[in-house]
Amino acid sequence: MATGNRAVVFHGIEDMRVDTVDYPKLEMPNGQKAPHGVILKLVATNICGSDLHIYRGSFAAPEGMLLGHEMTGQVVEVGPDVEFLSEGDLVSVPFNVACGRCRNCRARHTEVCETTNPDASCAAYGFNLGNWDGGQAEYMFVPYADFQLLRFPDKDQAMEKIRDLALLSDILPTAFHGLMEAGAKPGSTVYIAGAGPVGRCGAAAARLLGASCIIVGDYDQKRLDLVKRNGCETIDLSQDVPLTDQIEAILGEPMVDSAVDYVGSEAHGIGSDADKLMPQAAINQVMDATRAGGATGVIGVYGPDPLAPTQEGQEGTFPLDFGKVWIKSPRISAGQAPIMHYNRELMMAILWDRMPYLSDMLNTQVISLDEAPDAYAKFNEGSDEKYIIDPHGMIKN
């Protein structure tokens, strides 16, 4: 058994390092024994756009915190109370840490577990949300394993599709959740704000759902090209043309059935305001673009940001154009995704080749653990790649 553990560790703003830390134990963050947990050998562990909030300093984190919340791993140690998992099983780890026992978990709202974070009804690996170590590492501990972990039915088949299955911890179910909250269905017209990895997963998920016209808006032409070649329409938000006019040029009408904000408070304006940070821009755009009686999903992260240029943004208060859209009887849903609500079905869609375009749309790139700090810097500069860390060299090129 291994005795050490190399991991990506936060040392300050824009300062990620690969350090050797303690090998994980079957223990909760407070030191309590966790016979319901397992230790995983990480096979794939991704860098997420949400990690950049920590990297940039927008989301406060203590120095020395282990990062990472998108993990796929192999079980190497099983707690005595674990009944349905065995050593050698290949599993996906939902980023929400959830007990499976509280009122919210029993209602399948694992994104707001009431017990795994003493400070709030929300816990996640690799964030300052309950002191759970992240999984950009060689090994990690996962509690409540029978409840939390999604086991792949065939390890060899899973390893052949690991680039796609690695997305099940967060961004693919998160993207799907946004579409569900926005009421997307076969034949729907959909607008997706943001062509980052989550937005591109949203475009892929909209195709899986049978949406008709899928429109993606962004400023980065390389990212837009990835969705364009996979059957989506695109809008360059740097053009000085109102969003609804650009949608009308594509659809023949200025609004869509469903719209999802995959950007959050790091949004910029349109056209002449494209270089200006406008935290409220994306959410106002999707509300404006949604037809009367339609629905809007807000998946992008909104919260207090110490780096915001205004006091309102620092406090997490955003000016919304709600008065303008109220007359449309809007339905708006926001928040983190309950990953376990969707991950098994999306796993089956991947295993049965219902999303063959996923890796191309995401532009997944496999890197070593030592390359992670440099990948953070590239991603922060706007890289169109989705970085998958392979700590043990187990993923075929």
* Total residue length of the chain: 397
**Sign of the four-CA dihedral 92, 93, 95, 99:** positive
- What is the Cα–Cα distance from 171 to 41, expressed in whole angstroms? 21
Beta bridge partners of 296: 259, 332
Q: Which of 183, 197, 209, 159 is nearest to 346 (CA)?
A: 209
Q: How far is CA 242 from the centre of its chain?
A: 28
**Which residue's structure tokens are 């755009």?**
285
pLDDT exceeds cutoff 90 at 310: no
Is-contact 295 258, C-beta < 8 A?
Answer: yes
Give start and end residues of each alpha helix (H) in 26-80: 49-56
Q: Which of 171, 140, 165, 136 is nearest to 151 (CA)?
A: 165
How high is the mean pLDDT of the chain? 95
Is-contact 94 339, C-beta < 8 A?
Answer: yes
Q: Which residues contact 32 (CB under 8 A, 6 or more apart)?
A: none
pLDDT of residue 2: 73
pLDDT of residue 1: 62
pTM for the model stands at 0.96
- What is the Cα–Cα distance from 395 to 350, expressed in whole angstroms? 17
Domains and CATH numbers, the chain: 4-170+338-389 (3.90.180.10), 172-334 (3.40.50.720)
Q: For 192, which DSSP code? A: E
First to last CA, the chain: 27
pLDDT digits (tens, 9 = 90+) for 263-286: 998 899 999 999 998 889 999 999
pLDDT exceeds cutoff 80 at 335: yes
Is-contact 227 213, C-beta < 8 A?
Answer: no
How large is the average pLDDT for residues 319-324? 91
pLDDT exceeds cutoff 90 at 125: yes
**CA dist list (Å): 167 to 95, 162, 336:** 11, 9, 16
- What is the Cα–Cα distance from 250 to 258, expressed in whole angstroms? 15
Q: Which of 118, 140, 121, 144 is nearest to 131 (CA)?
A: 118
pLDDT exceeds cutoff 90 at 308: no
Is-contact 113 95, C-beta < 8 A?
Answer: no
% of the chain with per-residue pLDDT over 70: 100
pLDDT digits (tens, 9 = 90+) for 145-183: 999 999 999 999 999 999 999 999 999 999 999 999 999
- What is the Cα–Cα distance from 189 to 258, expressed in whole angstroms? 6
pLDDT of residue 3: 74
Is-contact 165 350, C-beta < 8 A?
Answer: yes
- What is the Cα–Cα distance from 194 to 268, expressed in whole angstroms? 11
- What is the Cα–Cα distance from 348 to 316, expressed in whole angstroms? 38
Q: Which of 354, 353, 373, 375 is nearest to 364 (CA)?
A: 375
Beta bridge partners of 362: none
pLDDT of residue 73: 98
Strands 90-93 and 150-151 come out as antiparallel
